[in-house]
Structure 1
Amino acid sequence: MDFYVTMILLFFGYGFNSCSQFPKRKYYYVNMPMNWTEAQHYCREKYTDLATIESTDDISRLKPDFLYAWAWIGLKDDPKSWKVSMGNDTNSWRWSATGLTSKTGYHNWKVGQPNNEWSNANCVSMGTNGKWYDRDCKSLWSFVCYNVTNQTEKTYVFISALKSWNDAQAYCREHYTDLPMIENSVENNEVYSAAPAEVWIGLYRVPWTWSDNTQSSFRQWLIGFPNNFGGHKFCVDENFLHTWEDGNCDVKLPFICHQVSKLKTTVRMKFQTDADITDPATNAQILQQLAAVLTSQGWTDFNLQWKIQPTKQMKTN
């Protein structure tokens, strides 16, 4: 015996996490000087968040009456995520071989490292002392590659050619496994023993994240920025021409918030099943599977609810 069940799926959410996101963001200029963290808190309390700007279309919708020399937006490179520690945030250090953050938290930074000098030190080398240094990825260094043998055993090969980090990565992936992934002192000593010079290792990061966790690489930097002048410029402000600079997060500036109205979408679905669709466990499993599909397609900040209409039982031959 089958049951025909009509269910109405109520979808509440913000839309796609991309440049074509819908509905469009609305921007609000707040002429109340605050530091970056205070501005973020204000925007989250009054609107959706400190402004995310991920396209020229977004820029075109910044109102012409937004009168400011500089104003905070929602882009930040939080040093808590990458300075000394091996964090798990979007802008934390990752290993080339996996694309993931450290499993063990092991690191061997030289004192004073990493310092993100000139705001472009996003790749890591090992010095002749076995310590780690953050470097400009375009710098030319020798490097070490590794191979995995017998499923778990690693062997390391020194390559004397001078290459950028990306070119070294490509070479290692073509001829070996990858640049070294170092998760403990034993592995660090093995790479150190293989390297008679300063070498690239497989550690890198992608700096700057949006306050609302939007994954967008759109940038509108003013020429010469970011530069991390003085070593403490981890937040971004924009000028009236809508070009950006990195600034000291403690400076008090006006700021821009954005608001995204939530969507409410109703989808009518009809199931033919011999399962009890009203069972909470079955209901939850279906919603979980639908949520996974939506997440994979870039949707964010949504929740799903069922509204189950009266069931109609029909006999089958």
Structure 2
Amino acid sequence: MEQTLYFILLLIALCSVSECVQRQYHFINVNKTWTEAQRYCREKYTDLATVDNMNDMNELNKSVNNERVWIGLQKTSVDKWQWSSGDPALYLNWALTQPDGTDECAVMRDGQWHDFPCGNSLTFICSSSNNTNTGLVFVNQTKKWRDAQSYCRQNHIDLVSVRNQNESQQLQKFINDSHISGDVWIGLFRDSWQWSDQSNSSFRYWESDQPNNVEGNQNCAEILNTQGQWNDYFCNYEFPFVCHEDKLILIKENLTWSEALRYCRQNHVDLVSVHSEEIQREVMNVVKQASTEAVWLGLRHSCTVGLWFWVSGQTVCYQNWAPGNGTGEENCDSAVRSGAVQSGGDQRWISRPETDRLNFICSNYE
């Protein structure tokens, strides 16, 4: 009993915030049009560079040694609402008749959302790791939406996201408790830009007043300056470019958990460990292409200590279990249990007998 308690305490002590870049970036110092660059990247790597967050952006920028560089963002004909932080806009809290126009940014007004001109100046709310009570910071300065976004990213995390009803209620309580009146910017915006690899990433890092679509056909994105900020430009111009190579690979073979583990270790590095929300978002992108209802992860249950662990050695600190799963109260008289992620729905983790035959995700993280 004492040994089990010691092991549990050791696991808790080892939990820490872990950041990693989901992709490896490759700067190609050859001038090509955007389409030619896309073709090159798809042949040699995975695709033209996708960027999910500032960690990715900083890593990409390390590989670039000149300005005017293509990345994998291209304008389409489909507008959609999304969050500045990169979270998908699954929960919607529009006021009646909203959105009602062509405005591309959103404000919180009386507990609900309204579309609003991005060029207007308003106060705003940032998400922050410094305020442990709410995770929110009200900035009592008026800025345009994109300037507010830059301020939040430089001083906190990002403009606030509202991913579910609970977060919406928490935000409104924060507004009431802080005696904030009038409209405030939130991190919701819409655009028609899409990543070349079809990623659902909504991260954008435009230079101020960009994209401006000069002459109506600036439909491709480039890195414009040494800070790594982006500009829209004519796709037929020739620039160097950045490719990315995915760290996670979906294998569409139906194997048991042990067979999947062996395959990944022989052909890549390991079955994937999902030890952060960042990696979970990448997993959510990958599993959409699966041919089974669930996909193996490198997650294993130990009956000895009644805990789940990652086979790569990381502890299970970040968690994304579906209700009723991951409790540790597994039936140890039956087949050993291993962890999988749902390929549809909320794409949460579930406990499955290791003898099930599923697709799986290999990782190239060292």
Greater radius of gyration (CA) = 1
Same fold (TM over 0.5): no
What TM-score, normalized by structure 2, do the two folds share? 0.37
| Greater relative CO, 1 or 2 (CA 8 Å, sep 6+) | 1
